[in-house]
Copies of this chain bind each other. A is one copy, B any other.
Amino acid sequence: MPNVTTDFNDRTIEYEQLLSDFKALLKKNSLKFTIQREVILETLYNSDEHLTPESLHHLLQEKFPDLKTGIATVYRTLSLLEDSSMVTSLSFGAQGKKYELGAKNHHDHLICTECGNITEFVDEQIEDRQHFIAKELGFLMKDHSMQIYGICSNCQK
């Protein structure tokens, strides 16, 4: 199993750590560590995108064709991981949920409505403020998404 970090930033944790967290979680709940659960975690870890259950299932069929992992197992494992906060799910307005590992870093998007260019950014002040607001309103904040729409400097010319 590769012991690598992604090139995102220092908030990303290593796979070995993630895997042992997962095993600890399973043990604590008298659940079993199966090869299907392992490859699902690994595939989520190695993906830079938000995955739908279907796209994750597809990836598994490509990378581990011998396992013949069923879509039902993908759904069941994602629910398990989400319930234990190891992955978060987002719905972006389209149909269905998308999942990503909670261990990855977060960023927001500036989207140019003219050329479609997307700039990523993270702003600590906004991040802090979001936590504050969630707390004020009694929410246990899990994740957030923010998009700013506008016209980029190039397109303003």
Give the B-binding residues of A (Cβ under 8 A). Answer: 1-2, 4, 6, 88-94, 96-97, 110, 112-113, 119, 121, 123, 125-126, 129-130, 133-134, 136-153, 156
Q: Is the CB of B144 within 8 A of A139?
A: no
Q: Is the CB of A133 within 8 A of B149?
A: no
Q: Is the CB of B110 within 8 A of A89?
A: no
Offer 6 A-B interface pairs, CB within 8 angstroms, sorted by A.
A93-B97, A110-B133, A134-B150, A137-B153, A142-B150, A144-B147
Given contacts A4-B137, A119-B137, contact A146 B145 (CB under 8 A): yes
CB-CB nearest in chain B for A128 = B125
Could you tell me the dominant secondary structure of chain A's interface residues? mixed
CB-CB nearest in chain B for A147 = B145
CB proximity of A135 to chain B, nearest CB, Å: 10
CA of A130 to CA of B147, assembled, Å = 10
Q: Is the CB of A151 within 8 A of B129?
A: no
Q: Is the CB of A137 within 8 A of B110?
A: yes
Given contacts A4-B137, A142-B149, A145-B149, 14 further A-B contacts (CB under 8 A): A6-B137, A89-B93, A91-B94, A93-B97, A112-B139, A123-B133, A139-B148, A139-B152, A139-B153, A140-B150, A142-B150, A143-B149, A145-B147, A146-B146
CB-CB nearest in chain B for A53 = B94
